[in-house]
Amino acid sequence: MLSIRGATKRLVAITALVSIFVLATVACAGETQVVEKVVEVEVEKVVEKEVPVEVLKEVQVEVEKEVPVEVVKEVEVEVEKEVEVVKEVEVIKEVEVEKLVQVEVTAVPSLPNLEPQYGGTLRIGYLDQGTLDPMLAGLSQAQSPYGEIAYDSIVMYWYDGEVTPWAVESWTSSDDLSQYTFKVRDGINFHSGGALTSSDIKYTLDRIRAEDSASPLKGQISYIDTIDTPDASTVVLNLGEPNAFLMGDMTDYHARIVPNGVGGEALTNAEHGSGPYILTSHNPTERSTFEKYTDYWRDGRPYADEVVFFYIPEQITRIEAIKTGALDVVPTPPIASLGAFAGNPEIRISETPSAGVVVIDMHTSYSHLQGVDGWDKFQGLADPIFADKNLRKAMQYAVDRDFIVQAAQFGRGSPANDHPVGVNDQYYWDEQPIIKQDIERAKQYLADAGYPDGIDVTLNTADIGFQLEAALAFKESVAATGINVEIATHDTSAYWEAQWIPCCPFVTSNWGGRPANAAIDVQLRGGTVWNESFYNNSRLDELLDLAAASPDLNERKEYFREMQEILIEDVPVLYLAYSPVIWAHRDNVGGVQAHAALAHWLIEEWWLQQ
């Protein structure tokens, strides 16, 4: 029997931020305060070239008198000259740096010696919002936190990575892992007044599994054969074959529990959950407001009386809003913006490492989609240029992943290796060959692909997560091989629907951290709706099934070793860098703890000092 945790465990992330920031972290509940000081340092002369700076819209630029850089060796860097309003191309001049501005992070207790308090309104700034139906949640930033505070999950990951009872208070499985039995927690009521029972969990999962379902979770739980509900508190999942990963799959944010019989537009346009907050108003382009559900089943939760989601596409606007106190929390602020918090004691950063990853997708094939329902846009299309593995291998060896980490993520995170398995995952292949930049090898692959004189490609991206920064770093990194990259930057609010999968054969993306089986299944199994590279490898699909069915850990590890070997060799996706989870919040907000698991927020644990 597992018991639910009542107190937050602390995760401490100790990460170095280089280039603009030099971070010194001290363990203190994952909380840091950004302060600024100037130190004398010896530096080499930095020669800075004239570079055209492309500006998409008018922005205000604050100018430092000392240029913040970290010099490792004589390099060429791009900087902006001192202006008040950036409108056109800027010319950078040769300068000699005599000082650098050092930003260090020192540990500051998160509201020390204070107990959590009740009341107040939490104001959170997100990029955008999409459909309200949990099973259809896409990639809009506010969809997963909406589902979490308005609905209940079957189980959740706690901060330590363990699967934790939620609406299901306990579970058992058969010895061969082909049947799971859930015990539903008593005393959970929907906001409409009805009790949450086994029939609601069955209905939720059956909706996702239905033949006409468009849920991204559908393929991932296709191994469920039938679901029985012998009584109101018991759910029995009968699997078509053994599966070792079911409980992890049940944490997915598409599996929020909805009432039996409620579907369609009722869920798309309104809230019908049992979570800690009730949706009271909703404008998907402006804001959503929530009030505390006083009959929530978790004792003492939530703390805040009201939560407001503000939808603000412009990153600079969200940053300014938290600086002035107009917002209380901003998830995933750009790392480059952390310097804007320097010297501001009212802003704190919560950060943790994760298996989240920034990638570049290469469409590998359209031929296997011909005649397949649901892929109308791709009917009649010839395979894209990246169907040639030699071209993909050229990209693989052309890029310097260490440079991507430094330039795009300012030293936070770590290089990835062309698969989505996190380095701390139990299925990570420790002996895998680590891909390093090899210019001559990349040129040979280019020649083998038919491009002995180089190639011009357009990389589509948006200012989401670390995608734009990674795209710019990628362009610079691969230039020496003859790969000439044009960056096409798109509107953030429409990017996932307009560019990500349906448009462009060369496109940036990013993924939240998932366990190995879920990451590979969702991103790379043939024919799935979020297979962004259109990769189709029958052996990879077979290995996923074999790993799920095996009760032996070492055997599963061998299957995942082969999967990683296949992906490194085939390189359908350039997995560039693992990214940390970073949330910025005001210093009067307690309980905020960045969560490494995909789409886990635990906003009900956050509170305001009154």
**What is the pLDDT confidence band of residue 150, given thresholds at 50, 70 and 90?**
very high
- The string of DSSP letters for 531-574 reads -TT----HHHHHHHHHHHH---HHHHHHHHHHHHHHHHHH-SEE
Q: What's residue 168's pLDDT?
A: 98
Q: Is the pLDDT of residue 9 over 60?
A: no
Q: What's residue 506's pLDDT?
A: 95
CATH number of 154-263: 3.90.76.10
594 vs 83, more confident: 594
**What is the pLDDT confidence band of residue 113, given thresholds at 50, 70 and 90?**
low
Q: Is the pLDDT of residue 536 over 90?
A: yes
CATH number of 357-578: 3.10.105.10
Per residue in 221-252, pLDDT (tens digit) is 999 999 999 999 999 999 988 999 999 999 99
**Cβ-count burial 384-409 (b if 16+ within 10 Å, e if not):** bbbbbbebbbbbbbbbbbebbbbbbb
Name the one residue in this structure whose structure tokens are 């010896």.
42
- CA 557 centroid distance within chain: 25
Average pLDDT value for the chain: 83
Query: How many Cβ atoms are within 10 Å of 54's Cβ, its own excluded?
Result: 11
- In 3D, which of 333, 347, 336, 471 has the Cα closest to residue 20? 336
What is the mean pLDDT of the segment spanning 396-405? Answer: 97
- The string of DSSP letters for 127-176 reads S----S-GGG--S-TTHHHHHHHHS--SEEE-TTS-EEESSEEEEEE-TT
Question: Structure pTM?
Answer: 0.74
**What is the pLDDT confidence band of residue 291, given thresholds at 50, 70 and 90?**
very high
Q: What's residue 372's pLDDT?
A: 76
For the chain, what are the domain ranges? 154-263, 357-578
H/E element, 443: helix 439-448
Q: Is the pLDDT of residue 462 over 60?
A: yes
DSSP type of residue 483 = E
What is the mean pLDDT of the segment spanning 476-491? Answer: 96
Alpha carbon distance 301, 239 (integer Å) = 35
Alpha carbon distance 367, 381 (integer Å) = 8
Alpha carbon distance 525, 523 (integer Å) = 6
**What is the pLDDT confidence band of residue 53, given thresholds at 50, 70 and 90?**
very low
**What is the pLDDT confidence band of residue 492, given thresholds at 50, 70 and 90?**
confident
Alpha carbon distance 415, 462 (integer Å) = 21
Per residue in 366-389, pLDDT (tens digit) is 877 787 777 777 787 878 899 999
Q: Is the pLDDT of residue 60 over 50?
A: no
Sign of CA dihedral 2, 116, 315, 332: negative
Q: Is the pLDDT of residue 67 over 90?
A: no
Q: Is the pLDDT of residue 300 over 80?
A: yes
Cβ proximity of 406 and 415 under 8 Å: no
Per residue in 315-364, pLDDT (tens digit) is 889 999 999 999 999 998 887 778 778 778 999 999 999 999 999 999 99
Q: What's residue 36's pLDDT?
A: 37
Alpha carbon distance 90, 49 (integer Å) = 11
Cβ proximity of 573 and 533 under 8 Å: yes
